[in-house]
Each structure stands twice: as structure tokens, then as C-alpha cells.
Chains A and B, each alone.
Chain A
Amino acid sequence: MNITELTELWQNQQVHLQQSMEMNKVLAKEVQTMKLQQLFSSMRPIKIFTLVVGLLWVVFVDSILVATYGIASPYFFWSALLQSTITKVAIGVYLYQLILLYQTDVSHAVSAVQQRIAHLTLSTLWVTRILFLQLPLWTTFWWTESFINGISPLAKSLLFSTVILFAAVALGLFINIRIKNREKPWFRWIFRGREWDPLVRAKELLGEL
């Protein structure tokens, strides 16, 4: 078969399909009564829920920061402030995703819609990377000056080593959580049980667009 034959074959199919295909009107009507599953609507509730929980958490942490300003330990203050800031950045990404979701109209040009969906899918990786940056802050927020001054040099060095270790892990994950590392054992271990295929496909699709 050459391309002209293929085109003819394809176009003859159209005539034949129009004659032989029977639309079941009853079933077609049924589609209207089904709960409309917009392509991306299933993503909305979980994103809205996460956004609300994130906002409540930020309000909670910020209220404590304001209420304890000047009296809380500087370790607590800076840990909580940074944690709240990182959460706000993650909330920003979620907001960006929700805006993309609401702006996506399947009747727009294919490249524009697919680009938007691919960016949306890939931005979930960003949330994970950003949230890992909080890791070392959970090892310092409970410190107080009297506690730090009161422990032995060995305990102190153990404590600081832990912070450095957590910071290195957080930074390492922030840098390396990328699609290209998806086959590596540590990546598979962290993201076990999650559906990463859409992310990989989204990356490929972006390349194609």
C-alpha cells in the first residue's frame, strides 16, 4: 500500500461508517443524565481539600508565631517561619494547578490544551520537591537555648549532625526528584504505590508538542 491508497482506504471508510453505524439514541441520551466527568474534574476535589488543609495549617502556624513572638525560642521561631513559608509556596503551586484546571477547555486547540495538562501533571512533582525541603526544620523546632547550652558536646554534635543529614537529604531530594531519575531504586522506594505513568507520559508529550 502506498500513501494515496491509504488515504483512499481511510476516506472510503467514512462513507461505509456513516451507512453502517447505528447510533443508539436511548444510550446517547443516557450520557446526558450521567454525572458529567469533565476530563479533569476528578482532580479538583482532592486539590481543593489539600489547599484548604494547607491554608488551615498555615493559619495555625502563623497564629502561634504571632502569639509567641518575642517569647518563643529563636529555634522554634525560625523553624516554624520557614516551614510556614515552604507550605505557602506549595499552596501557591496548588493554586496554580487549580487555575489551570478551571481554565482548561477541551474545545480549545489540541496543542494548547495538551500543553496545559502536561504542565499541570508535571507540577505535582514540584509540590513533592518543595515539601521535602521542610525535612530539617522538623529536627530543630523543639530546641530551646537552655536545652542546647545544657547538653554535652557529644550530644550537641549528634544533634547538629542530624540536622545536617536531614538538610542534605532534603536538598538532595529537591534536586534529584525528576522524571529522568524515575528508574532509580530510591525514587521507586519513595514513590512506591503512586501512579507515575501519567507524569512520564506528560513529559514525553511536552517533548512532542
Chain B
Amino acid sequence: MTFNKESRTHKTDAYLALLERHKGILYKVARSYATGMEIDDLVQDICMQLWGSFERYDDRFAESTWVYRIALNTCISAYRKEKRRETSSTDAMHILHPAVDRDQERLDELYKMIQTLKEIDRALLLLYLEGKDHKEIALIMGYTETNVSTRLSRIRNELKSMTNTLNK
């Protein structure tokens, strides 16, 4: 019994440390797929999925690859839900509290641009902006590197024309 308790405490600590290390990813992915209060809902959903999959973590992959996969799959699949968050408490929605960024306005514009893209393109652009190389993006998305490269080139062009319109 003591062992179980210890093991659970250990798991909880490891989980909290994981959230601490990747809280930025959680927020950025959620914000790319939602607006307003729904961001908190999505962050919480991702946290729950991370907790649910925690014991099945496959250490062949980098921790961040695993976190990105879960976060992106959770956010892209969120449209399936007819009603969001009926069972959880309201307080638990606010897990992360980002402060106001000095580049907030420009970031808001960027997020708006990202949200005009289709779900899969959004995921690819997000990983590209994160500075992931084609190999890691391919691993997270399940595409070949060539496919990633082709898709990214198209998305970059799309983004370029959007920024051009904004700059005019």
C-alpha cells in the first residue's frame, strides 16, 4: 500500500515537472486552435490527456515530440466535442496564467493569421515557427520529410501573402 502511495506520488511529481517543462508548448498549441476561455479548456484537456498517457510514454521519442503529438491531437480533435467541459470545476480551467507580452499586439496578429489556416497546416506552421527541423516535424506529424518540405513551402507562401496584405 505504502509502495503504491509512493509510486503515485513519484508519478505525480514527474507529471508536474513535465507540465512545468512544457507549459509553453501547451499554451501555444491551445492558443493556435482556440480563442478566449476555450484556450484554458484546451490546456486542461491536454493536461488530462498527458496524465492519461503518462504511463505509456515511449522513450524512443524525445519528450517534446510526445508532448506535441498529444497536444496537437487533442486540439485538432476538439471539434468532435458537442459540449465542452461540463464535468470539471470552473477553477481547474485556469491552469496556466500567461502574463501580458510586450509584443502582444504583433503576437495577436500572428495567432490570428495561424487560425485562418486549416487544422493540419496550422500544426505544421506551429512546429516550423518553433524551430523544429523537417525530421522532427515528420516524426510528430507522421509524414515523410519530403511531404513536410512540400507542405511547408506552400504554407510559407500562404503566410507571405497574408503578411503582405497586412503590411499594405
Q: Residues on A close to B: CB < 8 A?
A: 1-3, 6-7, 9-14, 16-18, 20-25, 27-32, 34-40, 42, 105-114, 117, 121, 195, 197-198, 201, 204-205, 208-209
Q: How far is the CA of A183 from the CA of B120 in the complex (A)?
A: 25
Could you tell me the distance between the alpha carbons of A52 and B103 in the complex, rounded to whole angstroms?
A: 56
> For the complex, what is the distance from the CA of A81 to the CA of B81, rounded to whole Å?
38
Contacts A11-B131, A13-B101, A17-B27 known; A36 to B51 CB distance under 8 Å? yes
Asked if residues A10 and B110 are in contact (CB atoms below 8 Å), the reply is: yes
Number of B interface residues in the complex (CB < 8 A)? 70
Cβ contact of B52, chosen from A2, A6, A38, A117, cutoff 8 A: A38
Residues of chain B contacted by A3 (CB below 8 angstroms): 156, 159-160, 163
CB pair A25 B51 closer than 8 Å: no
Do A9 and B69 touch across chains, with their CB atoms under 8 A apart?
no
Residues of B within 8 A of A (CB): 12, 15-16, 19-20, 23-24, 27-28, 44-45, 47-49, 51-53, 56-58, 66, 69-70, 72-74, 76-77, 79-82, 87-89, 91-92, 94-99, 101-103, 106-107, 109-110, 118-121, 123, 128-131, 139-143, 156, 159-160, 163, 166-167
Cα–Cα, bound, A16→B102 (Å):
9
A28–B19 Cα distance when bound, in Å, is 8
A6 & B159 in contact (Cβ 8 Å cutoff): yes
Residues of A within 8 A of B66 (CB): 107
Give the docked Cα–Cα distance between A115 and B101 (Å): 36
Report 14 cross-chain contacts, Cβ distance below 8 Å, ordered by A residue.
Answer: A3-B159, A6-B159, A17-B24, A20-B99, A27-B91, A28-B15, A34-B48, A34-B87, A37-B45, A39-B80, A106-B70, A110-B142, A113-B69, A198-B79
Select which of B44, B120, B159 is within 8 A of A209 by beta carbon: B120
